[in-house]
Structure 1
Amino acid sequence: MSNHSIAVLVGSLRADSSNKKLARAIERLAPKDVSFQYADIGALPLYNQDDEQPLPEPVADFKALVNAAHGVLFVTPEYNRSIPGVLKNAIDWGSRPYGKSSWAGRPSAVIGTSPGATGTAMAQQHLRNILAGQGSPTLTTPEAFLQFKEDLIDDQHAFTNAGTRDFVQGWLNRYLEWVRKLSA
């Protein structure tokens, strides 16, 4: 894969977000010719169709970042058995205005972590359903549900467990193959 850009949407706004840590650890596993561009979804106003023309500047910047990317990586926590509202808001803005969706045809992948034993399984399923409705071809296998523990990722954004690192590396490799195939 040569000079490919991945837009990263982390569904948590917390400064010490475990999902932000996960995104950084995944980025560290990526080959040098793949760049990760992080979207600031917290800067987006709440979606309101009345505000589409002209697009607010943070929305225009967000859409430009996603539109320039070869793929999108969604790293989401699970809030009340679904995705966080801030992530849904970003998806809504990315789909608008009508006919100018940033998601259609853009390969995506979904991963996340939470303290619960099932990781973010429910949130990931909901997110895959939303992305299917937006026409974003989403990597379906392998799925990655990671239980977050304090020692999962160190201060240098590295996985501390070799088995977890190898699993996530395989997941990332499969996603990057998916991006290469669909963006060719």
Structure 2
Amino acid sequence: MNDVTLLAISGSLREQSLNTALLRAARKHAPPGLTIQLYERLGDIPPYNQDLDSAEPPEPVADLRGAITRADGLLISSPEYNYSVSGVLKNALDWASRPGGASSLGGKPAAVMGASPGNFGTARGQMALRQVLMATRCQVLVQPELLVFGAHHRCDENGEFTDETTLALLRELLTVFRDEIRESAR
């Protein structure tokens, strides 16, 4: 496998989201051989309802599952809400994890990162997200980690990450993740 395609999902619906900005930076600074596609329909996914989870689920759910299936891996950047993952992201992962035996998440490589204006850089939210991803049988990248604290100070007036330390750590995560996906495909 030469080129690797990642589906990038932000756990935030906010227009000026630091986590969406971090994913845009990932796309801009991706190493050669890595393509990052931003998933933009998280807000369209209805609350999980097993009564609607049939052979023909709601169209946004089918879209999410298909996008995950087509990608070589997932890159998730999420804020931390109440020491955990955002509700909209958890809901999307609940839909994507069904049906249990044929989940689009089963065996899918996943990398987690997060940006926060606070001092902990989404550390607790990432722990909760890693737990959810492991429960869905994703192959979660352990190291390197990217927890961007004080993220609003690491962006320019347009909301783009410009801090060289953050960008170097982001490039390292992307390179390691790309290489691990390539290695596992052999």
Instruction: Please give the range of the TM-score, normalised by the shorter of the 2 chains.
Output: over 0.9
How many angstroms apart in 2 are the aligned matches of 1:156 and 1:170?
Answer: 24
Instruction: Give matches, 1:1-184, under 5 Å.
Output: 2-39=2-39, 40-53=41-54, 54-154=56-156, 159-184=161-186
Q: Which runs of 5+ in 1 are unaligned?
A: none
Report the TM-score, using the length of structure 2 for normalisation: 0.92
Report the 3-state secondary structure (helix = DSSP H, G, I; strand = E; otherwise coil) of the residue aligned with 2:35.
strand
- Give the TM-score taking structure 1 as reference length: 0.93
Q: Deviations over 1:69-116 (max 9, x none)?
A: 000011000001100110000000001123221111110000001111
User: In 2, are the aligned partners of 1:107 and 1:182 still within 8 Å (CA)?
Assistant: no
SS at match of 1:104: coil
1:33 partner amino acid:
G
CA distance in 1, matches of 2:104, 2:156: 34
Distance 2:146 2:98 in 1: 29
Aligned residue type for 1:49: Q
* 1:106–1:149 CA distance, 2 compared to 1 (3 A): closer
Q: Which runs of 5+ in 2 are unaligned?
A: none
The one-letter code of the counterpart of 2:106 is: A
SS at match of 1:90: helix
Q: Residue 132 of structure 1 aligns to which amino acid in structure 2?
A: M
CA distance in 1, matches of 2:76, 2:37: 12
| Deviant stretches of 4+, over 4 Å | 155-158
The answer to whether the 8 Å contact 1:151/1:160 transfers is no
Shift of 1:151: 4.0
| One-letter amino acid of the counterpart of residue 137, structure 1 | Q
Size of the alignment, in residue pairs?
184
Is this contact kept in 2: 1:5–1:69, CA < 8 A? yes
Cα offset, 1:41, TM superposition: 1.3
Contact 1:83 1:124 in 2 (8 A): yes
Matched AA of 1:6: L
Q: Give 1:168's aligned amino acid.
A: L
Q: Residue 99 of structure 1: SS of its match in structure 2?
A: helix
Distance 1:38 1:79 in 2: 22
Identity of counterpart residues, as a percentage?
39
Give the whole-Å Cα distance in 1 for the aligned partners of 2:151 and 2:130.
25
In structure 2, do the counterparts of structure 1 residues 156 and 30 end up closer, same or farther at CA, with 3 Å as the change threshold? farther
- Which stretch of structure 1 is more off in the superposition, 62-71 or 29-38? 29-38
Query: Would you say the 8 A contact 1:37–1:65 is kept in 2?
Result: no
Which letter does structure 1 place at the counterpart of 2:68? Answer: V
Q: What CA RMSD, in Å, does the superposition of the two structures yield over aligned residues?
A: 1.7
